[in-house]
Structure 1
Amino acid sequence: MGKKSQPSNHDNDYDAKLRLLQIELVKLQRQIISSGSRLLIILEGRDTAGKDGTIKSIVAHLSPRESHVVALSKPTEREEGEWYFQRYIAELPSSGEIVIFNRSWYNRAGVEKVMGFCTDTQYKQFIDTVNEFESLIIGSGIQLFKYYLDINKAEQAARLKSRETDPLKQWKISPIDEQAQKKWNDYSQARDVMLKKTSSKAAPWTVIDANDKKSTHLNLIRDLLSRIKYPGRDTNLLTIDSNVVMPCPPLGKKLPKLAP
């Protein structure tokens, strides 16, 4: 048998940096638990943009009792008859908890809009009310951070191809994937409208250039940690790459440069 390949210096460097940031995340969680704070993180993005891997890098060493990942499936028949936001409310963080939404109510502004899973009236009602809904959440004392992971079309094509051949990624394949490339421009347009109309002053979007997975993980965590105060925060670890982390301005202003 051949020699077992050794991890590259780049891999070692990434692992070392990620470990230090995960220690910071543990410090943050201790503060959230002790203070009874509530933290909600929304992760949206293109299909294959790396939401699952990013979430794993965040929660890897957090207490599972006080940190929860929410990835809701298709609404049931009963849920379809409810107020659109209703099923998400039950998943909001309680005292001392961190909750991460792997996709969220913004499904309505993305997949549902592009694939025709909602009516124009339902879409407009969502766009017209989501900022007010999030203001109520923030007003209740929940800290809310919204990230959109963006990749280019060629990178998405490569990742979709990888899913077809990697047995560990078979569960990720869905009929929606088949439309991701075909409806690329439609998704771009829906993304831009969503970011322009829902990046409010109280709950702005931050776009992450997610073409490099490791850079995505490190920079998103740095950005999150830099925006929350907690004891013992090591600011030397929180230098953010401005080519990766792109804050969206308040409503209606010019968006950062995104994949067309």
Structure 2
Amino acid sequence: MTPENHLELMRRIERDLIDGYDEELELEIEDRHLAVPGLSTEDTPETRSARQHYFRELFRLQAELVKLQDWVAHTGHRVVILFEGRDAAGKGGVIKRITQRLNPRVCRVVALPAPNDREKTQWYFQRYVAHLPAAGEMVLFDRSWYNRAGVERVMDFCTEDDVEEFFRSVPEFERMLVRSGIQLIKYWFSITDDEQHLRFLGRIHDPLKQWKLSPMDLESRRRWEDYTKAKEAMLERTHIPEAPWHVVQAVDKKRARLNCIAHLLGQMPYHEIERPAIELPERVRHPDYIRQPVPDAMFVPDRYGDEDGPTPDAG
């Protein structure tokens, strides 16, 4: 690799890390320059403007998601949303943006581990069925029953006969879900070979994200072409009218998040549900009530407070 290519690669890694830190800034972002210590990535009026535009759109779409949530709960609608894609494709990032401001009792995420010995002997779809939504719920699967057509097939965790049976069964399984009144929405997050390589390097360079790199991820990197063949077969054989696939171009993570959320909002005829006016009641006070003091030893040390400031009389 030439010095120029190495420098450009490091710049791209830094930009990717900035995107990752933005994930933590989104709840409290302000319209001002926010520098991340230790990174020298370009910071220009154009990049700041692009980030501000992204945040404005994200917050607008999240406000619509709240309306969608209220509509789902009010109407008793049932929704299942599948998020599939290669490792580091950005599935977790968009799931986080969707759920960030929603009620976890209405919108919940399912991310199942590898099946245990007992689950391996069950009907393949059985452990997923237990997590399907009741009335008024949205369930987001961070990877789903399509593991069989992807990682399990590529890593030889199942036989080709198992895969063929899956392809025969899954269209009927999904049609059954739809007939029962569950809306099924399927997303595949698509990234390039080069972009996955970049994101893996970013995780290697970011101590806060190194835990995301597992031996399975590294092996999946080596088997890129095998995953491509598996993905192509999966999309071809499971793209059905009742539950079609929607491919999200995910090389640009922020655009992918906005595009996916906007598309999701367009899949349901939701509208704003009128809420009753809320009035905060007066606190009931009793003159004979005496609050008991809390021993100092029970308090968490105030390492970041104002040493000279007063201690509030908290409850």
TM-score (norm 2): 0.71
RMSD: 1.5
The secondary structure found in structure 2 opposite 1:8 is helix
1:196 aligns with 2:236: yes
Residue 4 (structure 1) shift: 5.5
2:76 equivalent in structure 1: 36
1:116 aligns with 2:171: no
Moved runs in structure 1, 4+ residues, more than 6 A?
none
* Structure whose CA Rg is larger: 2
Q: How does 1:177-256 map to 2 (within 5 A)?
A: 177-232=217-272
- Paired residues, what number? 231
Residue 232 (structure 1) shift: 4.3
Structure 1 segments unaligned to the other structure (5+ residues): 234-260
CA distance in 2, matches of 1:34, 1:131: 30
The secondary structure found in structure 1 opposite 2:269 is coil
2:139 equivalent in structure 1: 99
1:239 equivalent in structure 2: none
Residue type matched to 2:264 in 1? L
1:121-167 CA-to-partner distances (Å, cap 9, x unmatched) read: 11110011100000111111111100000100000001011111212
Residue type matched to 2:66 in 1? V
CA distance in 1, matches of 2:234, 2:34: 47
CA distance in 1, matches of 2:56, 2:155: 41
Q: How does 1:59-208 map to 2 (within 5 A)?
A: 59-208=99-248
Residue type matched to 2:159 in 1? T
Residue type matched to 1:107 in 2? N
CA distance in 1, matches of 2:114, 2:136: 28
Using the TM superposition, name which of 159-168 and 97-106 deviates more: 159-168
Residue 180 (structure 1) shift: 2.2
TM-score (norm 1): 0.86
CA distance in 2, matches of 1:167, 1:100: 28
Residue type matched to 2:242 in 1? A
The secondary structure found in structure 1 opposite 2:105 is coil
Q: How does 1:12-51 map to 2 (within 5 A)?
A: 12-51=52-91
1:52-95 CA-to-partner distances (Å, cap 9, x unmatched) read: 10101111111111111000001010000100000000011111
